[in-house]
Every structure is written in C-alpha cells, then in structure tokens.
Amino acid sequence: MIDSGKQPEIKRVEITVNGKTVQARTDKPLIHACLQAESEVPHYCYHPGLSPVGSCRICQVEVQQGKMPARVMVACRTPVAAGMVVDTESKGAHDSRKECLEFLLKNHPLDCPICDKAGECTLQDYSFAEGQGEGRSVEPRRKLEKRKDLGDVIMLDQERCILCSRCVRFMEEVPETPQLCVAGRGSHSIIETWNNQPLSGNYQGNLADVCPVGALTLKSFRFKARVWNLTKTASSCGECSRGCSTTVEVLRAGEIVRIRPRHDEEVNKWWMCDTGRFALDHFSEVDRLVGACMPSATRGWDQFPVEDGLQVAADMLMAAEKPLIVASPWLTVEEGTELLTLGRQLNGRVAFVSPAQNELADDLLHTGDPAPNRRGLTDLGFEALSPEEILSAASEHSSILCIGERVASLLGEDGFNSLPSATRVLLFDCALPAAQEVGNSPIDLAIGLATSAERAGHWVNIDGIRRPILQARPAPTGVWNTVRLLQNLLGLLATREIQS
C-alpha cells in the first residue's frame, strides 16, 4: 500500500466551497475538497487513509449543482463534479448535522471527564460547538461492555463506540489482516472480534488513533494522562530504517507517555508499527549515564563532569596511533559530519555498526533494519561494518571510540565485553551496557549522551528521505548532546596539537 510505484494521473475539476474556488481531485470524495478549502466539516467515519463508507452521516454539506435546487448531502460519499457549489455553513447543513449528532449521542455515554479521548475527541468538540445541552431521549441508553479486552494493546469500550467502522476498515485495508467486524444489526450492532479472539499483528496501535471517540484505547496509555497536559514534539521513529514521522508526547516535561504517527505522505502516511510506538523504555531516565565516569581501582566507577571527561578523552585519543571510531546508526547527519572531522583529525578509521536484519520486517512499513540513519551515514562516507567485523577489527587498533545511543548493545553484550583489554575503549552512550563491573569491564572512559528524544538533528531513511528529529524534552542535568560533545572534543584536540 505504501510502495509508491507509478502514481495514476490525478484529474482535477473546479468547484466552489464557501465562495472559494478549489481544484478538487476527482478520485477523492467531496469532503476532501472541503477540507482542502479549510472549511470545517465534522467527520467521524471518514478518514483520508481509508475508504469512505458514509456511516456516521455527520459530514453533511449543502451542494448546489446546475439548475437543481441546493440539497444537503453527505460529503464523504459524494463524488466531485465540475461546477459544484458547496456551502458547509448553511442553515440546512447545520440543522441536519445537529439532528445527526443527536442520534450519535443517543447511546454515547456522557463520561468525558473519565474518557481518555477527551481533549482530542472530535465528537466532544462538535457536540460542544453545535449540540444541544440536554438529550430528549426517554429510552435508556444501551448497556454494553465497558472493558472489552482486545489483546495486549487495545481495550474496547463498546458503550462509547459510535459504529463508524474506521477500525474495521483499517484492519481490512492497511495491514490487510481483517480481524474486527460490526456484529449484530440495527441498534444491536457492536464492534467485535471473531469468537472474541485477541487482536494480533504489529499495527494494532493505530486503532486507537483512527477511533474518533474513546472506544478503542491503548492499554499502555489508559488513564495515564490528560491529553492537554502533553507537550507534543515532531520527531522521527528510530526503530527501523523507515524512519516514520512521529509526534512525541511528553507529560509535564518529564516522562514520554505516548508516541504517535504523524501524517507524512512520502514516508508512513498516517500509520506506524507497534514496535516503534511502544519503544518508550529506551527513553526512560532510569540507569542513564550522567556526566562521565572511569573505572578506578579503589573506588569503583569514578564519576566526574563531562568537561573533565572530555579532557581525559582528548588525552587518550591524542595518544592513540590510529583509533577505530565506531558510530551508532542512531547518529544524526549533523553528528556524523562532526564525527568524520574528528576521524580525519585523528587519522582514524570511521565506521558505523550495521546490525543484521531482524524478523520484524513486513511489506507495509517495518523494514527489519534497526538502523534509522543507515542511508545518511553511508552517504556521508561511513564504512558499514557488522558487529562481528568491528570486534575482529578492534584488536588491530590501540584505541576504539564507540559513540552514539545503543552502540554498546548493538555490538552485543558479550561482544562488547570481549573487546581486547589491550585496546583502550571509550564509550559515549546513553547508558552503560548491563552488568559492567569495574575489573571485568573493557571500558576505560564512558561519557553520557542525550537520547534521540533529547536532541535535534536529521536522519535519512532507507528511501533517501531526510526527516528531522526534534528535542522533545530536556536532557538530564549533566548530559550533553552529541554535537556539542564532539565540537568541544575537536576544540580540545586542536588546542593540544598547537601546544605540542
């Protein structure tokens, strides 16, 4: 679906929306043109990435064409025709929508204060703007299951569901693994999986995004935060070389509580995989390497500030004959450029760790290559070496500088620990590898780095598309971002060269 082969030629016709002339695509429904004209048309069942079905009926607009009198139509199921005159704000449209809204709210519980969707729920927004204050219905609301478990990722609240069927269509059309269906008829319709089987697949998280109300929620995010308390930052996913555009959401400048896909037509459309969505552990502040540390024979890990750590690093690198510089594929293009300068100055061998393909690859988004900036570093002139090649090359060098987040874990815990003791090992990483005891650790100097949520830069994805990562939250005190670290190191080296 994502593979962008030959695009069919797009035909456009001229229509008028609220007095604005728009070149509307004929392969898209009328609502697409209305939204393009920046008019506000509420929509629940329509999703630009899914086929339109017109089940919610809320997107009604008044359309006048030719000599026919103006009629109220459902914009998501009306094809565009040349010469249409659309009014989204007419009284007829508003009245129809209001009536439609009353039906939608007939069985929708009024528990916005509890609902996790509150704040980013279009049903809430529109009923606040347009709806009436009190319901007129005398019949009781539907009593359905409030906590229906749909596997490891998703929890379904059937009462809140407005039966827009976005989730059903998503499962059918995007990962093409139909698992959800609308069961029952009329007012007994509910969303269900067949035989109550749990959902499977690597794209379940998107269900919570496509659900226009709070019916499908992420278990990991349930009742964790109110969405208006989240600071949202545009970024890119680093779990594979696709580099999906994401929004990183931070609660009170601290914990990253949610990562969501950001619409990017060229890379990931509206979707992302669960691997990237739930890769939050990597950003946790627990066990971070703050400042710099060195093994000391008497005191265990000797902690000191980054400034002093850089002095030590400069001394070590000056003494090295031809150091091996091993970068992590998480380094940004900017950091890679600085690192290449360092490599030239030290006359070293510069490579990045090229990890093996993993089994997560699919034909939708995940490439199975856990190296987000592979293309960017290769284009800069980095040598791609597999972990094994690096470990075997290490013995040929008196010093090895491993730099970038997760670089140690990419080399493998055993592999990293088996680095020859004759080689001097400098590790610049976000965290120390597990179980590093003074005495059996190969590390001679370690300096903490900022994670990709704490620094800014660019990655180039596997298709050569350059996308930014932005700083979503401040780095812990005493942690520098990699560019600043490298520039300071270069400065120190230059000073030492002049002095010698």
Partner 1 sequence: MVVVQRRELTFWERMYLPEIVRGLVITFKKMFEPRVTRQYPEQAMPTTAVTRGQPRLTVKDDGNIACVSCGLCEAACPAYAITIDGKETDRFIEREPERFDIDMLRCILCGFCEEACPKEAIFMSNELELANTTREGLVYDMEQLKRSTSTLQPRIDYVRKINDRW
- Residue numbers at the binding site for partner 1 (CB under 8 A): 111-114, 118, 146-147, 222-226, 228-229, 252
In sign, the C-alpha dihedral spanning 448, 452, 454, 457 is positive
State the minimum distance, in angstroms, from the CB of residue 71 to partner 1. Answer: 39
State the minimum distance, in angstroms, from the CB of residue 146 to partner 1. Answer: 7
State the minimum distance, in angstroms, from the CB of residue 148 to partner 1. Answer: 13
Q: Using the minimum distance from each CB to partner 1, give the nearer residue, 11 or 224.
A: 224
Cα 457 to Cα 460: distance, rounded to the nearest angstrom: 10
State the minimum distance, in angstroms, from the CB of residue 212 to partner 1. Answer: 20
State the minimum distance, in angstroms, from the CB of residue 221 to partner 1. Answer: 11
Q: Torsion over CA of 97, 213, 165 and 245, rounded to 10 degrees?
A: 110
Q: Using the minimum distance from each CB to partner 1, give the nearer residue, 42 or 214.
A: 214
341 closest CA partner among 355, 321, 327:
327
426 near 402, Cβ under 8 Å?
yes
Q: Using the minimum distance from each CB to partner 1, give the nearer residue, 157 or 405.
A: 157
Q: Using the minimum distance from each CB to partner 1, give the nearer residue, 252 or 484.
A: 252
Q: Using the minimum distance from each CB to partner 1, give the nearer residue, 69 or 228.
A: 228
Q: Using the minimum distance from each CB to partner 1, give the nearer residue, 70 or 112.
A: 112
Q: Using the minimum distance from each CB to partner 1, give the nearer residue, 93 or 154.
A: 154
Q: Using the minimum distance from each CB to partner 1, give the nearer residue, 62 or 159.
A: 159
β-partners of residue 232 are 249
State the minimum distance, in angstroms, from the CB of residue 125 to partner 1. Answer: 15
Q: Using the minimum distance from each CB to partner 1, give the nearer residue, 252 or 322.
A: 252
State the minimum distance, in angstroms, from the CB of residue 319 to partner 1. Answer: 50
Report the DSSP pairing between strands 180-183 and 190-193.
Answer: antiparallel
* Single-letter amino acid, residue 86: V
State the minimum distance, in angstroms, from the CB of residue 252 to partner 1. Answer: 8
In sign, the C-alpha dihedral spanning 453, 457, 460, 465 is positive
Q: Using the minimum distance from each CB to partner 1, give the nearer residue, 159 or 239.
A: 159
């059937």: which residue's tokens? 158
Half-sphere exposure of residue 10: CA atoms within 13 angstroms, side-chain side:
8
State the minimum distance, in angstroms, from the CB of residue 114 to partner 1. Answer: 5
State the minimum distance, in angstroms, from the CB of residue 116 to partner 1. Answer: 9
Q: Using the minimum distance from each CB to partner 1, give the nearer residue, 158 or 436.
A: 158
Q: Using the minimum distance from each CB to partner 1, give the nearer residue, 9 or 228.
A: 228
